[in-house]
Structure 1
Amino acid sequence: MLKKEIIESGEKMITYPVLTKPVKIGVTAPSAGLHFDQYSLLERAIGKLTQKGYKLEVGNTCWTQFKAKSAPAKVRAAELNLMLHDDSIQIIFPPWGGELLIEILEFVDFNLKKPKWILGYSDTSVLLLAMTLKTGLATAHGTNLVDLRGELSDPTTAKWEEVLHTNQGEEVIQYPSEKYQLFWQHDYETDWIYHLTEPTKWKTISNQPMYIKGRLLGGCIDVIRHIIGTAYGDVQNFQTHFINNEPIIWYFENCELNVTDLRRSLVQMKLAGWFDNCSGILFGRSAANEKMGDYHVMDVYLELAEELNIPIAYDIDCGHMPPQLTFVNGAYAEIRVYHTGGSMVLQKFI
C-alpha cells in the first residue's frame, strides 16, 4: 500500500522525530547510573557534545547507582517522563545501559505530544523496542553516550548524528566498520575510546549473498525477550496498526547468553509470533555465545533459518563488541551482504 493510501485509509504510520538546531539532549539513567569514580566518563562525553553545539540537560539519576539501578523504578520513570514531555528536549540519551530498565515500563508515560529520539543500546533497548511497538515512534539503537567521550569518533559510531538528522521521506546508508573491538580495556583508552583491531566481515549462514527488505526491530536479546507476552511486546499489533503488515527484519545482539539460553530465547520468540512475516534476521558480534558441549552458535543460527525458512546474517556491527551501526526501529530497510565481504544497510524514513 502506498503512503498516501495508508493515510487515506486511516492507518497509523511510523513517526520520525525531527531535529532543529540548537539540539537539546536530555540525559537520564532509566537503567544504571554512575558511581563516583565513573563520573569523568559522563562529564567528558557531555563536554564533547557541548563543544559540538549541543545543549544538554542532565538528570539526577545519572549520578547515582545503588542495588543494580540508578534509583527506584518510580524515580527513574518520573525523571524520564519529565524529559519525554519537555518540548525543548529533542533527544533522550542515557549514559549507558544496565540491568533493570524493565522495572520502569509500567510507570512510563508513552503518550508523547512531541516526538523525540531515544538513543542507546544494551538494557536501553528494552525502552526503545517497547516505545516503538506501543506508539509507532521510531527509536535509535546505537552508541551509548559515554562512548562519545573520545578525542575522535570512528566513522561507524559517528554515523548516529547523520541518522538522527535524517528527515521523514529521506534515506541514509551505512556500511560495515573496517575493524571492531575484540575485548574491552577500560583502564586504557585510545583517541577513539575503542580498540579497533580485528577486521570486520559480515557473514551469511549460506555463504551466499543476501538481500532482504522490511521494517527494522531488535535490540539486546538478553533483555528484550522479557517483554514477550506483555503489553510492551505486542509485535502483531505493531505490524497491523503501524506498518500495514510489512515484513520485519530483526536485529539482535547477545551480551551474556550461552548458546542454549540463546536458543531458548529464540524459540520463545518464535512461539510468541515475533517471527511471523519476518524477512530475515541479523545477529551482532558477541563475546558470549558460549558453546554447550558440541552445540555451537552456528547450530542455533542454522536451526532457526531452517525452521523459519529465512536468510540469516551474523557478525554484524551491533552490540557489545563495538563499533555499531545506528539501527532505527520502525524504519524501512534494505540489507545487502555480499560474498566479497561488502555490505550495506539502507534505511528509509517512510
Structure 2
Amino acid sequence: MVPPWGGELAIDLLPSLDFEARGRAEPTWGVGHSDMSTVITPLTLRTGIAAVHGNNLMDTPYLDTSRCAGDESLLVHAEACEDKAFTICRHLHGMRLAGFFDRAAAVLVGRTHPDSRTLTQYEAVLDALGPLGVPIAADVECGHVAPFLPLVNGARGRVVHTAARSEIVQTLG
C-alpha cells in the first residue's frame, strides 16, 4: 500500500477497514507520510504490521498504543507539519494527558520550522513532554523538513545521540 500523493481525507477510510482480517492476512507494508499516517498508524497499532511513518490521530479510537509491542516500552516519534510552537505545545500536552506517551522509553520529535519569538519549538516540546522524564530528541530529520528520514512503525528501535553521533537503528521481528 503506497499512495501516490497525500491523503488529506484518508481518516474517512478507517471505519471501513477490517483490522482483524488485515491482521490475519499476509503482512503487507503500508507506506505513507503526513496525512496518510491516519491509515498506516492504526494499521500498525491494531494489527502489528509494520508501516513506514505516522502520527496525527489524537482523539480517535485508532490511537491505542496498548495494543503495540506487548509489555515493551515504546520509542515514540512525533512531528508537526505546519503548526506553530504554541499549537504544538497544546497538542503535545493533550497527547501526554491522554496517555499516548505512557509507555514511551524515549520520544523523537521531527524537525520543524521556527516560528515564534516568545516560545520556540524546543521550548514547546520540553514544556509539554518534559514531565515524562524520558529522553527527548528534538530536530530529528523525519517529517516535513528535509531530508525526510523514514521511520518504520512497529519496528524495534535503538537511538544513539551524543555530541559526536546521532543514529537510529531499526529492526523488524
TM-score calculated relative to the size of structure 2? 0.89
| Contact 2:93 2:129 (8 Å CA) reproduced | no
Aligned partner of 1:313 in structure 2 is 137
Deviation of 1:276 (Å): 0.6
Q: Percent identity?
A: 35
> Which of 115, 120, 139 is matched with 1:290 structurally?
115
Pair 1:272 & 2:98 matched:
yes
Deviation of 1:329 (Å): 0.8
Pair 1:235 & 2:61 matched:
no
**CA separation in 1, counterparts of 2:46 and 2:129?**
28
Structure 1 stretches of at least 4 aligned residues deviating more than 3 Å after TM superposition: none
Pair 1:224 & 2:57 matched:
yes
Deviation of 1:309 (Å): 0.7
Structure 2: segments with no counterpart, 5+ residues: none
Pair 1:249 & 2:82 matched:
no
Aligned partner of 2:156 in structure 1 is 332
- Which amino acid letter does the alignment assign opposite residue 132 of structure 1? T
Aligned residues: 170
Aligned partner of 1:107 in structure 2 is 16
- Which amino acid letter does the alignment assign opposite residue 15 of structure 2? E
Deviation of 1:305 (Å): 4.2
1:154-189 Cα deviation digits (max 9, x unpaired): xxxxxxxxxxxxxxxxxxxxxxxxxxxxxxxxxxxx
CA RMSD of aligned residues (A): 1.7
User: SS where residue 123 of structure 1 aligns?
Assistant: helix
**CA separation in 2, counterparts of 1:120 and 1:309?**
30
1:297-334 Cα deviation digits (max 9, x unpaired): 12112223431111111221211112222211111100
| Contact 1:305 1:311 (8 Å CA) reproduced | no
> Which of 263, 267, 286 is matched with 2:89 structurally?
263
1:54-79 Cα deviation digits (max 9, x unpaired): xxxxxxxxxxxxxxxxxxxxxxxxxx
- Which amino acid letter does the alignment assign opposite residue 252 of structure 1? A
User: SS where residue 14 of structure 2 aligns?
Assistant: helix
**CA separation in 2, counterparts of 1:305 and 1:108?**
32
Aligned partner of 2:41 in structure 1 is 129
- Which amino acid letter does the alignment assign opposite residue 118 of structure 1? G
Structure 1: segments with no counterpart, 5+ residues: 1-91, 142-218
**CA separation in 2, counterparts of 1:305 and 1:100?**
29
Aligned partner of 1:345 in structure 2 is 168
Deviation of 1:124 (Å): 0.7
- Greater C-alpha Rg: 1
Judging changes above 3 Å, is the alpha-carbon distance between structure 1 residues 98 and 249 closer, same or farther for their aligned structure 2 residues? same
User: SS where residue 119 of structure 2 aligns?
Assistant: coil
